[in-house]
Structure 1
C-alpha cells in the first residue's frame, strides 16, 4: 500500500514539474518573440534639412570650377533623400511612419520658392504610402530642390540665413517628433550671420564671419588657446535638444587662414554640445564632392 502511494505521489510530482517547465518555456518563447518583433521593426525617421540660401550659393560671387557650391548642395540633398527612400523601402508598409522636410530661416521673399518648399514636406504612413510613391521620393525631392536653388540664384535676393534664430525659436517644434529618430541636416558654409539675430554676450556671439575670426586673432596656430582662454564661441540658443541629431554639411572656410575650418568646427561643435544635441557631426571640414560623401550620408541614415 505504501509503495502504491509512493508511486502515485512520484507520478503526480512529475506531471506538475513537466507542466511548470512547459509554462516556463512558453513564457520564454513569448518574450523571445517580442524581442524579435521589436528588433525587426525599424525606427521611424523624421529628417529635416535646413538650407542656407545666402549669397554663398552665388556661382558668380563664389565660383568653383570643379563643382559649384549650389550643385554640391543638390548632391548632398540627393544623398539624404535617397537614404530616406532606402529606409522606407526596407520597412513593411504597416510600420511606416516617417517624414522628410526642408526649411529656410527666414523664409525666402519669392512666393514660388515657398510654394515649392511645401512640396518638400513629405510624410509617409501606412494609410498614404504606395510602392509608386516610395519610388518617386528621391527623384521628386532632388528635382524640386534644384528648382528652388535656380530661382534663388536667378533673383539674387539673398536674405541670408538666420541659423541661430532657427535653433532658438523653431527647431523644437519643427524638427523633433516624439517616437522618431530626429535628424537635422544643415547645408551651410559654416558661417552664421543675420541682421535680426546679431548680438554678443561677453565674448560669445550669435554670429561668425571671416571678419570676426580675423579680428579675434583666431587666424594663427594659437586659435585653440585663445578660444579657451577668452571663452569665444556662439551664444547658446537652446538647451533641450537631446532628442535631435545634427549633421552639418558643405563647410566652406574663407581662404587665407589655414586654421579657418578648425575655428568654424570648434565654434559649431561646442555650440551643439552646449545645447545637448545628440552626437553632432560635421562632414567634412571643407566642402567635398557629393560622390565622396554619398556613402557616408546613406550609412549614417540607415545605420
Structure 2
C-alpha cells in the first residue's frame, strides 16, 4: 500500500513538472513571438525642421531684452545639429544612413532664403561620410540659419504660418521615411494663421491666435470645460503619424491671458494625439542654454 502511495506521489510530481515545463515553454514561445513582432527603433535618424517665419520673429514687434526670439530659434537649431553630430560620431561607417533638412510653409518669396534652406539639406551615407563632411554639417548649421532669419526680418514680408496645411499635404512626403527614426522639430510661438487656409467648421479651426482665444472665451479658469463642451480645437486630419516624433519649441503666449499657454498647448496636444503621434513635447521659448538638455534628451532617447 505504501509503495502505491509513493508511486502516485511521484507520478503527481512528474505531471506537475511536465505541466509547468509546458507552460514555461509556451510562455517563452509567446515572448519570442512578441519580440519578433515588435518593430525595432532605427538608429538611423531623419531630422526635419519646420520654421515659422511669421512676424513672431520681428525684433521690432516682439522685442525681448534677454534674447530676440529669432536668435533663440538659431540656438535651438544649433543644439539639434550638435546632437546629430554626436550621434554620427558614435556610428560605424557601414551603418551611416541619416538625414537632416529644413522646411517652411508657406515658402518664402525670397529665393535666397530657399537657396540657403537647400544648403542645409544633408543625407549622410556610408558612401559619402568623411570627417570633412561631419565638420561641414556642424559649421553650416551654426552659421546659415541666422542668415535665413536676417533675410526674413529685413524683407519684413511676414506671410504667416500655414502649419495646418503643411501637416495636411506635405508632412508624410517630406518628414517620414521607412526604416528611420523620424523626428520633426517645429519652431513656432504656438499660434497658427494663414489667410489662404483660414477654415472654420463649428468651433474647430485651422488656426489659433490670441484674438480667437479671447473671442472663444478661453481666457479664464473654466477654459478646459468650455473647450471640451464647445469642441474647440484644430480641425483634425486623417493622418497616421505614429512613425513621427515631434518637438514643438518656442511657445510664447500672450501675457494678458494667464491661461493662454494652457490653451495653446491643449490645442496642439489634442491635435497631435488625434493624429496618433506617440511621442511629442511642447516647450516654451526659453533661452537656448536652458533648452539644450531638453533637445538633446528628446532626440537622443527614443
Global fold match (TM > 0.5): yes
Tell me, yes or no, if the aligned pair for 1:107 and 1:114 is still in contact at 8 Å.
yes
Aligned partner of 2:102 in structure 1 is 102
CA drift of 1:67 comes to 0.4
TM-score, normalisation: structure 2: 0.85
**Post-superposition shift, 1:256?**
0.5
Aligned length: 265
- Cα deviation per residue 1:63-84 (whole Å; 9 max; x = unaligned)? 0010000000001000011111
Matches within 5 A, 1:171-250: 171-250=171-250
Deviation of 1:299 after TM superposition, in Å, equals 2.0
1:187-225: CA deviations, max 9, x gaps? 000001001111111111110000000001100000001
- The answer to whether the 8 Å contact 2:48/2:103 transfers is yes
**Secondary structure at the residue paired with 1:246?**
strand
Residue equivalent to 2:14: none
The unaligned stretches of length 5 or more in structure 1 are: 1-34
Query: TM-score, length-normalised on structure 1?
Result: 0.85
Looking at structure 2, the residues matched to 139 and 69 of structure 1 have their Cα atoms a distance apart, in angstroms, of 22
Give the conservation status (yes or no) of the 8 Å contact 1:167–1:238. Answer: no
Structure 1 CA distance for aligned equivalents of residues 133 and 42 of structure 2: 19
The reply on whether 1:60 has 2:60 as its aligned counterpart is: yes
Q: 1:188 touches 1:248 (CA, 8 Å); kept in 2?
A: yes
Mark the CA change 1:89 to 1:210 in structure 2 (over 3 Å): closer, same or farther: same
Q: Whole-Å Cα distance in 2 between the matches of residues 296 and 207 of structure 1?
A: 27
Superposed counterparts of 1:51-90, under 5 Å = 51-90=51-90
Residue 42 of structure 1: CA displacement?
A: 6.4
For 2:281 and 2:42, the matched residues in 1 are separated by 22
**Could you list the per-position Cα deviations for residues 155-197 of structure 1 after superposition, in whole angstroms to 9, with x for gaps in the alignment?**
1111111000000000000000100000000000000100111
- Do 2:42 and 2:180's aligned partners in 1 also have CA atoms closer than 8 Å? no
Residue 137 of structure 1 aligns with which residue? 137
Runs (4+) off by over 2 Å: none
Note if contact 1:100-1:121 (Cα within 8 Å) is conserved in structure 2: yes
Secondary structure of the 1:250 match is strand
**Alignment-derived partner of residue 148 in structure 1:** 148
In 1: Cα distance, 2:182 partner to 2:224 partner:
31
RMSD (Å) for aligned C-alpha atoms: 1.7
Q: In structure 1, the residue corresponding to 2:251 is in which secondary structure?
A: coil
Residue number in structure 2 paired with 1:111: 111
How is 1:39-58 mapped onto 2 (pairs within 5 angstroms)? 43-58=43-58
**Cα pair 1:203 1:233 within 8 Å, conserved:** yes
Map 1:243-282 → 2, pairs under 5 A = 243-282=243-282
Q: Distance in 2 between matches of 1:80 and 1:232?
A: 33
SS at match of 1:63: coil
Which whole-Å CA distance do the structure 1 matches of 2:201 and 2:285 have between them? Answer: 30
